[in-house]
Amino acid sequence: MPTASVPSPAAPSRPAPSRVRRTVFVDGVRTPFGRARADGLYTGTRADDLAVKAVRELLRRHPQLPPDRIDEVAIAATTQQGDQGLTLGRTVGVLAGLPRSVPGYAVDRMCAGAMTAVTNLAAQIGVGAADVALAGGVEHMGRHPMGLDADPNPRFLSERLVAPDALNMGVTAENLHDRFPHLTRERADAYGAASQRKYAAALAAGRIEPDLVPVATRDPERGWGLATADEPPRPGTTVEGIGALPTPFRAGGRVTAGTSAPLTDGAAACLLAAEDTASALGLPVRMRLVAFAYAGVEPEIMGVGPVPATRRALERASLTIDDIGLFEINEAFAVQVIAFLDAFGIPDDDPRVNPYGGAIAVGHPLASSGVRLMTQLARQFAEHPEVRYGLTTMCVGLGQGGTVIWENPHHADYVPSSDEEVAP
Protein backbone atom coordinates (compact mmCIF):
# COMPACT_ATOMS: atom_id res chain seq x y z
CA MET A 1 0.00 0.00 0.00
CA PRO A 2 1.58 3.35 -1.00
CA THR A 3 2.31 5.81 1.73
CA ALA A 4 1.77 9.55 1.53
CA SER A 5 4.92 11.51 0.95
CA VAL A 6 5.81 14.26 3.38
CA PRO A 7 7.54 17.29 1.88
CA SER A 8 10.91 18.10 3.31
CA PRO A 9 10.99 21.26 5.44
CA ALA A 10 12.33 24.32 3.68
CA ALA A 11 15.87 25.27 4.50
CA PRO A 12 16.13 28.15 6.98
CA SER A 13 16.68 31.52 5.38
CA ARG A 14 19.59 32.19 7.73
CA PRO A 15 21.44 30.24 10.39
CA ALA A 16 19.97 30.28 13.86
CA PRO A 17 21.79 32.77 16.10
CA SER A 18 24.07 31.34 18.73
CA ARG A 19 23.47 34.28 21.05
CA VAL A 20 20.42 36.13 22.27
CA ARG A 21 19.15 38.70 19.81
CA ARG A 22 17.91 42.09 20.99
CA THR A 23 14.18 42.80 20.83
CA VAL A 24 12.92 46.32 20.18
CA PHE A 25 9.52 47.94 20.62
CA VAL A 26 8.65 49.46 17.25
CA ASP A 27 5.29 51.04 18.02
CA GLY A 28 2.16 50.67 20.11
CA VAL A 29 -1.42 51.88 19.82
CA ARG A 30 -4.67 51.41 21.66
CA THR A 31 -8.34 52.09 21.26
CA PRO A 32 -9.93 54.75 23.41
CA PHE A 33 -11.02 53.07 26.62
CA GLY A 34 -14.73 52.87 27.45
CA ARG A 35 -16.67 52.29 30.62
CA ALA A 36 -17.90 48.72 30.98
CA ARG A 37 -21.59 49.37 31.41
CA ALA A 38 -24.80 49.25 29.41
CA ASP A 39 -24.40 52.82 28.12
CA GLY A 40 -20.63 52.63 27.63
CA LEU A 41 -18.76 53.41 24.42
CA TYR A 42 -18.51 49.81 23.27
CA THR A 43 -21.78 48.29 24.40
CA GLY A 44 -22.55 47.31 20.78
CA THR A 45 -18.97 46.58 19.67
CA ARG A 46 -17.34 43.15 19.57
CA ALA A 47 -14.20 42.56 21.60
CA ASP A 48 -12.30 40.95 18.74
CA ASP A 49 -13.11 43.93 16.50
CA LEU A 50 -11.43 46.22 19.04
CA ALA A 51 -8.25 44.15 18.81
CA VAL A 52 -8.47 44.07 15.00
CA LYS A 53 -8.72 47.86 14.93
CA ALA A 54 -5.49 48.22 16.92
CA VAL A 55 -3.61 45.72 14.72
CA ARG A 56 -4.79 47.37 11.51
CA GLU A 57 -3.66 50.75 12.78
CA LEU A 58 -0.15 49.43 13.39
CA LEU A 59 -0.03 48.09 9.83
CA ARG A 60 -1.33 51.40 8.48
CA ARG A 61 1.31 53.39 10.35
CA HIS A 62 4.12 51.20 9.05
CA PRO A 63 3.53 50.53 5.34
CA GLN A 64 7.23 49.65 4.92
CA LEU A 65 6.53 46.40 6.79
CA PRO A 66 5.42 43.62 4.42
CA PRO A 67 2.62 41.79 6.28
CA ASP A 68 4.13 38.43 5.37
CA ARG A 69 7.24 39.36 7.39
CA ILE A 70 5.17 39.08 10.59
CA ASP A 71 6.08 35.74 12.14
CA GLU A 72 3.61 35.51 15.04
CA VAL A 73 0.58 37.19 16.62
CA ALA A 74 -0.17 36.83 20.34
CA ILE A 75 -3.33 38.47 21.70
CA ALA A 76 -4.35 38.21 25.36
CA ALA A 77 -7.71 38.19 27.11
CA THR A 78 -8.53 37.30 30.69
CA THR A 79 -12.05 36.01 30.15
CA GLN A 80 -11.65 33.89 27.03
CA GLN A 81 -15.22 33.26 25.94
CA GLY A 82 -17.59 34.46 23.25
CA ASP A 83 -16.03 37.19 21.13
CA GLN A 84 -12.92 37.00 23.31
CA GLY A 85 -12.41 33.31 22.66
CA LEU A 86 -11.43 31.22 19.65
CA THR A 87 -7.63 31.64 19.78
CA LEU A 88 -7.54 35.42 19.53
CA GLY A 89 -4.07 35.75 18.04
CA ARG A 90 -5.08 33.69 15.02
CA THR A 91 -8.59 35.07 14.58
CA VAL A 92 -7.50 38.70 15.00
CA GLY A 93 -4.70 38.17 12.48
CA VAL A 94 -7.10 36.76 9.90
CA LEU A 95 -9.70 39.47 10.54
CA ALA A 96 -7.03 42.17 10.29
CA GLY A 97 -6.08 40.96 6.81
CA LEU A 98 -2.75 39.32 7.57
CA PRO A 99 -1.67 36.54 5.19
CA ARG A 100 -3.00 33.12 6.12
CA SER A 101 0.62 32.04 6.57
CA VAL A 102 0.92 34.18 9.74
CA PRO A 103 0.17 32.06 12.85
CA GLY A 104 -1.22 33.27 16.13
CA TYR A 105 -2.31 32.23 19.62
CA ALA A 106 -4.08 33.48 22.72
CA VAL A 107 -2.55 34.35 26.09
CA ASP A 108 -3.95 34.53 29.62
CA ARG A 109 -2.07 35.82 32.64
CA MET A 110 -5.03 37.86 33.86
CA CYS A 111 -4.00 41.54 34.06
CA ALA A 112 -0.54 40.81 32.68
CA GLY A 113 -1.86 39.13 29.55
CA ALA A 114 -0.53 41.65 27.02
CA MET A 115 2.70 41.97 28.99
CA THR A 116 3.13 38.21 28.77
CA ALA A 117 2.36 38.28 25.05
CA VAL A 118 5.20 40.80 24.64
CA THR A 119 7.71 38.85 26.70
CA ASN A 120 6.79 35.53 25.07
CA LEU A 121 7.36 37.01 21.63
CA ALA A 122 10.55 38.72 22.76
CA ALA A 123 11.83 35.30 23.79
CA GLN A 124 10.94 33.94 20.35
CA ILE A 125 12.79 36.81 18.72
CA GLY A 126 15.71 36.36 21.08
CA VAL A 127 16.34 32.76 20.04
CA GLY A 128 15.75 33.40 16.34
CA ALA A 129 12.28 31.83 16.10
CA ALA A 130 10.78 35.13 14.88
CA ASP A 131 11.97 38.41 13.39
CA VAL A 132 8.78 40.50 13.63
CA ALA A 133 5.73 39.91 15.83
CA LEU A 134 2.48 41.51 16.96
CA ALA A 135 1.45 41.44 20.63
CA GLY A 136 -1.62 42.84 22.32
CA GLY A 137 -4.62 42.34 24.52
CA VAL A 138 -8.32 43.08 24.70
CA GLU A 139 -10.93 43.07 27.43
CA HIS A 140 -14.61 43.83 26.97
CA MET A 141 -15.58 43.79 30.62
CA GLY A 142 -19.07 45.00 29.74
CA ARG A 143 -19.70 41.70 27.95
CA HIS A 144 -17.32 39.51 29.90
CA PRO A 145 -17.01 40.55 33.57
CA MET A 146 -13.88 39.25 35.24
CA GLY A 147 -14.44 35.70 36.41
CA LEU A 148 -17.67 35.19 34.48
CA ASP A 149 -18.48 31.46 34.36
CA ALA A 150 -15.18 30.64 36.08
CA ASP A 151 -15.30 27.56 38.26
CA PRO A 152 -12.49 27.75 40.85
CA ASN A 153 -11.46 24.35 42.09
CA PRO A 154 -12.99 23.77 45.55
CA ARG A 155 -9.61 22.50 46.75
CA PHE A 156 -8.42 26.12 46.86
CA LEU A 157 -10.57 26.64 49.94
CA SER A 158 -11.12 23.10 51.26
CA GLU A 159 -7.36 22.50 51.47
CA ARG A 160 -6.69 26.10 52.51
CA LEU A 161 -4.40 26.72 49.55
CA VAL A 162 -5.57 30.34 49.42
CA ALA A 163 -7.58 32.56 51.72
CA PRO A 164 -11.32 32.88 50.91
CA ASP A 165 -10.89 36.54 49.98
CA ALA A 166 -7.98 35.96 47.58
CA LEU A 167 -10.32 35.71 44.59
CA ASN A 168 -11.79 39.19 45.13
CA MET A 169 -9.31 41.80 43.89
CA GLY A 170 -10.88 44.64 45.84
CA VAL A 171 -10.59 42.69 49.07
CA THR A 172 -6.93 41.96 48.35
CA ALA A 173 -6.41 45.71 48.15
CA GLU A 174 -8.07 46.09 51.55
CA ASN A 175 -5.75 43.34 52.81
CA LEU A 176 -2.74 45.41 51.74
CA HIS A 177 -3.96 48.27 53.93
CA ASP A 178 -4.34 45.77 56.78
CA ARG A 179 -0.94 44.18 56.30
CA PHE A 180 0.90 47.49 55.99
CA PRO A 181 -0.83 50.09 58.20
CA HIS A 182 1.45 52.88 56.97
CA LEU A 183 -0.30 52.57 53.59
CA THR A 184 -3.11 54.78 54.82
CA ARG A 185 -6.37 55.70 53.14
CA GLU A 186 -5.22 59.32 53.12
CA ARG A 187 -2.16 58.42 51.02
CA ALA A 188 -4.27 56.31 48.68
CA ASP A 189 -6.85 59.09 48.26
CA ALA A 190 -4.14 61.62 47.45
CA TYR A 191 -2.64 59.24 44.92
CA GLY A 192 -6.02 58.64 43.25
CA ALA A 193 -6.65 62.36 42.84
CA ALA A 194 -3.14 62.86 41.47
CA SER A 195 -3.69 60.19 38.81
CA GLN A 196 -6.72 62.03 37.49
CA ARG A 197 -4.86 65.33 37.58
CA LYS A 198 -1.82 63.99 35.71
CA TYR A 199 -3.96 62.34 33.05
CA ALA A 200 -5.89 65.59 32.46
CA ALA A 201 -2.61 67.50 32.10
CA ALA A 202 -1.19 64.94 29.66
CA LEU A 203 -4.39 65.03 27.61
CA ALA A 204 -4.32 68.83 27.44
CA ALA A 205 -0.66 68.72 26.36
CA GLY A 206 -1.45 66.39 23.45
CA ARG A 207 0.37 63.36 24.87
CA ILE A 208 -2.55 60.90 24.88
CA GLU A 209 -4.29 61.27 21.53
CA PRO A 210 -1.32 60.29 19.27
CA ASP A 211 -1.47 56.70 20.54
CA LEU A 212 -5.25 56.33 20.12
CA VAL A 213 -6.96 54.79 17.11
CA PRO A 214 -10.54 55.98 16.56
CA VAL A 215 -13.16 53.23 16.60
CA ALA A 216 -16.51 53.27 14.82
CA THR A 217 -19.19 52.23 17.30
CA ARG A 218 -22.78 51.17 17.02
CA ASP A 219 -25.36 51.32 19.74
CA PRO A 220 -28.84 49.83 19.29
CA GLU A 221 -30.40 53.01 20.68
CA ARG A 222 -27.92 55.76 19.76
CA GLY A 223 -26.94 54.49 16.32
CA TRP A 224 -23.46 54.91 14.82
CA GLY A 225 -20.74 56.91 16.52
CA LEU A 226 -16.98 57.36 16.67
CA ALA A 227 -14.94 56.74 19.81
CA THR A 228 -12.02 59.18 19.81
CA ALA A 229 -11.38 59.78 23.52
CA ASP A 230 -11.19 57.82 26.75
CA GLU A 231 -14.47 57.63 28.65
CA PRO A 232 -13.42 56.71 32.24
CA PRO A 233 -11.43 59.82 33.36
CA ARG A 234 -13.08 62.10 35.89
CA PRO A 235 -11.37 65.50 35.60
CA GLY A 236 -11.67 67.71 38.62
CA THR A 237 -11.54 64.82 41.09
CA THR A 238 -10.39 66.01 44.50
CA VAL A 239 -9.03 64.33 47.59
CA GLU A 240 -12.06 65.56 49.50
CA GLY A 241 -14.40 64.03 46.93
CA ILE A 242 -12.63 60.68 47.09
CA GLY A 243 -12.69 60.80 50.86
CA ALA A 244 -16.48 60.99 50.83
CA LEU A 245 -16.91 57.86 48.69
CA PRO A 246 -18.17 54.57 50.15
CA THR A 247 -15.92 51.53 50.57
CA PRO A 248 -17.65 48.78 48.55
CA PHE A 249 -15.29 45.94 49.38
CA ARG A 250 -15.51 46.22 53.15
CA ALA A 251 -17.65 48.16 55.57
CA GLY A 252 -15.46 50.88 57.03
CA GLY A 253 -12.65 49.97 54.64
CA ARG A 254 -10.21 52.16 52.77
CA VAL A 255 -10.56 51.21 49.09
CA THR A 256 -13.06 53.26 47.05
CA ALA A 257 -13.98 53.84 43.41
CA GLY A 258 -11.67 56.85 43.53
CA THR A 259 -8.65 54.72 44.35
CA SER A 260 -9.48 51.78 42.05
CA ALA A 261 -9.28 51.32 38.31
CA PRO A 262 -12.80 51.38 36.83
CA LEU A 263 -14.22 48.41 34.92
CA THR A 264 -13.17 49.07 31.34
CA ASP A 265 -13.49 47.98 27.71
CA GLY A 266 -10.59 48.41 25.27
CA ALA A 267 -7.72 46.92 23.31
CA ALA A 268 -4.04 47.63 22.72
CA ALA A 269 -1.42 46.21 20.36
CA CYS A 270 2.27 46.67 19.64
CA LEU A 271 4.83 45.74 17.02
CA LEU A 272 8.06 44.02 18.12
CA ALA A 273 11.12 43.15 16.04
CA ALA A 274 14.69 42.00 16.22
CA GLU A 275 16.83 45.12 16.22
CA ASP A 276 18.65 44.27 12.99
CA THR A 277 15.36 43.42 11.27
CA ALA A 278 13.89 46.76 12.29
CA SER A 279 16.92 48.49 10.80
CA ALA A 280 16.72 46.51 7.55
CA LEU A 281 13.00 47.24 7.12
CA GLY A 282 13.24 50.90 8.08
CA LEU A 283 11.11 50.45 11.20
CA PRO A 284 11.57 52.89 14.10
CA VAL A 285 13.07 51.76 17.39
CA ARG A 286 11.22 53.33 20.30
CA MET A 287 12.56 51.11 23.10
CA ARG A 288 14.79 48.08 23.59
CA LEU A 289 13.77 45.27 25.92
CA VAL A 290 16.51 44.76 28.49
CA ALA A 291 15.07 42.18 30.92
CA PHE A 292 11.80 40.90 32.31
CA ALA A 293 10.61 38.82 35.24
CA TYR A 294 7.47 37.42 36.83
CA ALA A 295 7.09 36.47 40.48
CA GLY A 296 4.47 34.93 42.73
CA VAL A 297 3.26 36.23 46.11
CA GLU A 298 0.50 35.33 48.55
CA PRO A 299 -2.75 35.59 46.54
CA GLU A 300 -4.53 37.49 49.32
CA ILE A 301 -2.04 40.39 48.94
CA MET A 302 -1.57 40.12 45.18
CA GLY A 303 -0.90 43.87 44.95
CA VAL A 304 2.70 43.46 46.14
CA GLY A 305 3.54 41.23 43.19
CA PRO A 306 5.42 43.98 41.29
CA VAL A 307 7.97 44.26 44.11
CA PRO A 308 9.65 40.83 43.82
CA ALA A 309 9.16 40.86 40.04
CA THR A 310 11.03 44.17 39.81
CA ARG A 311 13.81 43.01 42.09
CA ARG A 312 14.25 39.92 39.93
CA ALA A 313 14.22 41.91 36.68
CA LEU A 314 16.75 44.42 38.04
CA GLU A 315 19.05 41.60 39.06
CA ARG A 316 18.80 40.02 35.62
CA ALA A 317 19.62 43.36 34.01
CA SER A 318 22.51 44.09 36.42
CA LEU A 319 20.78 47.36 37.34
CA THR A 320 19.52 48.97 40.54
CA ILE A 321 16.34 50.90 41.19
CA ASP A 322 18.42 54.10 41.02
CA ASP A 323 19.11 53.38 37.34
CA ILE A 324 15.42 53.63 36.50
CA GLY A 325 14.41 57.08 35.33
CA LEU A 326 10.75 56.45 34.44
CA PHE A 327 8.14 54.13 35.96
CA GLU A 328 4.89 53.01 34.36
CA ILE A 329 3.03 51.17 37.13
CA ASN A 330 -0.43 49.81 36.50
CA GLU A 331 -2.85 51.37 38.94
CA ALA A 332 -5.20 48.50 39.69
CA PHE A 333 -5.51 50.16 43.10
CA ALA A 334 -3.74 53.14 44.61
CA VAL A 335 -2.60 51.09 47.61
CA GLN A 336 -0.82 48.65 45.30
CA VAL A 337 1.20 51.48 43.74
CA ILE A 338 2.20 53.11 47.02
CA ALA A 339 3.20 49.68 48.36
CA PHE A 340 5.62 49.39 45.43
CA LEU A 341 6.92 52.92 45.95
CA ASP A 342 7.51 52.32 49.66
CA ALA A 343 9.38 49.10 48.96
CA PHE A 344 11.90 50.99 46.83
CA GLY A 345 12.03 54.23 48.80
CA ILE A 346 10.26 56.32 46.15
CA PRO A 347 8.02 59.23 47.23
CA ASP A 348 4.30 58.99 46.40
CA ASP A 349 4.52 62.14 44.26
CA ASP A 350 7.77 61.31 42.46
CA PRO A 351 7.54 62.89 38.94
CA ARG A 352 9.14 59.79 37.41
CA VAL A 353 6.07 57.71 38.29
CA ASN A 354 3.17 57.55 35.83
CA PRO A 355 3.72 61.04 34.38
CA TYR A 356 0.54 60.73 32.27
CA GLY A 357 -1.58 59.38 35.11
CA GLY A 358 -2.66 55.77 35.16
CA ALA A 359 -5.42 53.21 35.25
CA ILE A 360 -7.30 54.92 38.10
CA ALA A 361 -8.01 57.68 35.58
CA VAL A 362 -7.91 56.01 32.17
CA GLY A 363 -9.19 52.56 33.06
CA HIS A 364 -7.86 49.02 33.14
CA PRO A 365 -9.16 46.66 30.46
CA LEU A 366 -7.29 43.84 32.19
CA ALA A 367 -5.28 41.89 29.60
CA SER A 368 -4.61 44.94 27.39
CA SER A 369 -3.07 47.23 30.01
CA GLY A 370 0.50 45.95 29.75
CA VAL A 371 0.86 47.32 26.22
CA ARG A 372 -0.72 50.64 27.27
CA LEU A 373 2.04 51.02 29.85
CA MET A 374 4.70 50.25 27.24
CA THR A 375 3.26 52.64 24.67
CA GLN A 376 3.20 55.47 27.20
CA LEU A 377 6.76 54.73 28.33
CA ALA A 378 7.96 54.82 24.71
CA ARG A 379 6.48 58.29 24.27
CA GLN A 380 8.07 59.47 27.52
CA PHE A 381 11.46 58.17 26.39
CA ALA A 382 11.24 60.42 23.33
CA GLU A 383 10.49 63.38 25.60
CA HIS A 384 13.33 62.54 27.99
CA PRO A 385 16.51 61.52 26.16
CA GLU A 386 18.39 62.04 29.43
CA VAL A 387 16.66 58.94 30.86
CA ARG A 388 18.35 55.69 29.87
CA TYR A 389 16.16 53.04 31.55
CA GLY A 390 12.48 52.75 32.41
CA LEU A 391 10.20 49.97 33.53
CA THR A 392 6.63 48.78 33.17
CA THR A 393 5.18 46.75 36.01
CA MET A 394 1.85 45.43 37.22
CA CYS A 395 0.23 43.20 39.80
CA VAL A 396 -1.64 40.11 38.65
CA GLY A 397 -4.62 38.30 40.14
CA LEU A 398 -4.05 35.15 42.23
CA GLY A 399 -0.79 36.58 43.54
CA GLN A 400 1.67 37.47 40.80
CA GLY A 401 3.63 40.43 39.50
CA GLY A 402 5.34 41.19 36.21
CA THR A 403 8.04 43.71 35.28
CA VAL A 404 9.76 44.61 32.02
CA ILE A 405 12.83 46.88 31.90
CA TRP A 406 13.42 48.96 28.77
CA GLU A 407 16.29 51.04 27.39
CA ASN A 408 15.80 54.43 25.72
CA PRO A 409 17.29 54.54 22.19
CA HIS A 410 17.41 58.35 22.40
CA HIS A 411 19.93 58.24 25.24
CA ALA A 412 23.51 59.21 24.42
CA ASP A 413 24.87 55.86 25.65
CA TYR A 414 22.52 53.72 23.57
CA VAL A 415 24.45 51.58 21.10
CA PRO A 416 22.53 49.54 18.50
CA SER A 417 23.76 46.00 18.21
CA SER A 418 24.01 43.38 15.53
CA ASP A 419 22.48 39.90 15.90
CA GLU A 420 25.72 38.53 17.25
CA GLU A 421 25.89 40.73 20.33
CA VAL A 422 24.48 39.61 23.64
CA ALA A 423 21.77 41.68 25.31
CA PRO A 424 22.66 42.58 28.90
d(CA 24, CA 288): 4
CA angle, 346 then 321 then 332, to 5°: 60
Annotation marks residue 410 as catalytic: no
Q: Which of 111, 144, 177, 270 is catalytic?
A: 111
Output the CA torsion sign for 380, 268, 276, 320. positive
Residue 111 known to be catalytic: yes
182 is catalytic: no
Query: Cα separation of 90 and 385, whole Å?
Result: 37
* Candidates 144, 177, 270, 395; catalytic one: 395
**Catalytic site residue from 62, 364, 384, 411:** 364
Chain centroid, CA 178 distance in Å: 28
Known catalytic residues are: 111, 364, 395
